[in-house]
Structure 1
């Protein structure tokens, strides 16, 4: 494996993971540069027409924070990345897309970063690689 292939997933994981942790902490604790209380976030989600807005707000905040931690650690990367990708796709389409390119470019890039991790996995520089010598269970199609 070339050094580029070894470093690529690590760089994407850590960059996306740190961003997700900051946004998750902002919602869970109401602090930091992305601070928004769960109740304010639930009101935003409810305004989009989603039912059970408070429960959904907690779910999104936990996906952002927990998924970010897993990405940085390099554990269950594909699973965490799927949750983050869905989160970013919904945010892009329902919230940011109506604002034009300048409104959705950031969440679109985060979505694509998450998808790249679903495709590549955690990479060599991860706890998954160190502890399990490769990949934790991920279903595959033999053909």
Structure 2
């Protein structure tokens, strides 16, 4: 359809917006666990598993915002979110709307998409030739 033909040229920028905005939201999960910022219920004494998740969310999120090592980081974070869903959310209820796992599922599949799509525009990976 002619109405949408011109949009294809903006695809790398739309992909960059998806990567950056998703990563910024993901960083927030890490900062809440690590620094209680923003203030919430997820901070405090953490198990080794929670600490690992917090470091992945914070550090991996920063790397994705920068578009640095996008594909391997996205693969790792996609797996983290799959594990988080099945360990923390699925046992509560089969339905994501009832178990609070909506975000984990969305993060998992967005990161999995980035493994295949790459970082898009505005990424340090593009300067590295990755």
TM-score, with structure 1 as normaliser? 0.74
Q: 1:96 is matched with which residue: 85, 89, 107?
A: 89
Match of 1:81 in 2: 74
Cα 1:87/1:34, change in 2 over 3 Å: farther
In the alignment, structure 1 segments of 5+ residues that lack a partner are 43-53, 136-143
Residue 122 of structure 1, CA deviation: 1.2
Whether the 8 Å CA contact 1:23–1:34 is kept in 2: the answer is no
Task: Provide the secondary structure at the position in 1 that maps to 2:101.
Answer: helix
Alignment TM-score, normalising by the size of structure 2: 0.80
Q: Offset at 1:37? A: 2.1
Evaluate the alpha carbon distance shift between residue 34 and residue 12 of structure 1 in structure 2; reply closer, same or farther with a 3 A threshold. farther
The Cα of 1:79 is off from its aligned counterpart by 1.7
Give matches, 1:20-31, under 5 Å.
20-31=26-37
In structure 1, C-alpha distance between the alignment counterparts of 2:53 and 2:41, rounded to whole Å: 14
Give the one of 119, 125, 129 matched to 1:128: 125
Match of 1:59 in 2: 52
**Runs of 4+ displaced beyond 3 Å:** none
* Number of residue equivalences: 119
User: Quick check: 3-12 or 88-97, which moved more?
Assistant: 3-12
